[in-house]
Copies of this chain bind each other. A is one copy, B any other.
């Protein structure tokens, strides 16, 4: 059962196995539990010093007086950590052909030091490519939720995936 530590706000069928998958295996509506992770203040500051050194990401004192009342993770850090969960638990290592982009990326609630996030991926659309018969185009709704059930990131990603080798000429 999912939701022992973090309650998802909806309970559809959840796929938790992870094996050798192809485009054909991702069915619209299926949800994948992509596991979770915690994020520390050191990690937040270290990532942000390199990539996003705004005061509320790198300076606890300034952050306390700033718009979020404390240090928060860069949205790019959250996105990168979420991506790791997708690579480990959702995207097929052999069949992934990259991503042309994503839409409606949102950070509705800040990520703070010590937060534990859980990631879920839900197949929103899956269609075979018309121009390239070896692949399909999949859209996925990605959600990351914190320990209090608040959504901290949401996006709709597009991925190209190889179809199962025996399913096309």
Contact = CB atoms under 8 A, between A and B. Distances in A.
A130 to B, nearest CB: 18
**How many identical subunits does the complex contain?**
2
A93 B51 CA distance: 14
Interface residues of A, number: 37
A165 interface: no
B87 A80 contact: no
A104 B103 contact: yes
A53 interface: yes
A144 interface: no
Interface string A66-77: 011000101110
Interface in A83-103: 83-84, 87, 91, 93, 96-103
Contacts of A101: 75, 104-107
A40 B1 CA distance: 43
A108 interface: yes
A50 interface: yes
Nearest to A98: B67
A89 B15 CA distance: 44
A54 interface: yes
A56 interface: yes
Interface of A: 47, 50-56, 67-68, 72, 74-76, 79-81, 83-84, 87, 91, 93, 96-108, 110, 160
14 contacts: A47-B80, A50-B80, A50-B84, A51-B83, A52-B80, A54-B93, A72-B98, A74-B83, A76-B76, A76-B83, A101-B104, A102-B105, A103-B105, A105-B105
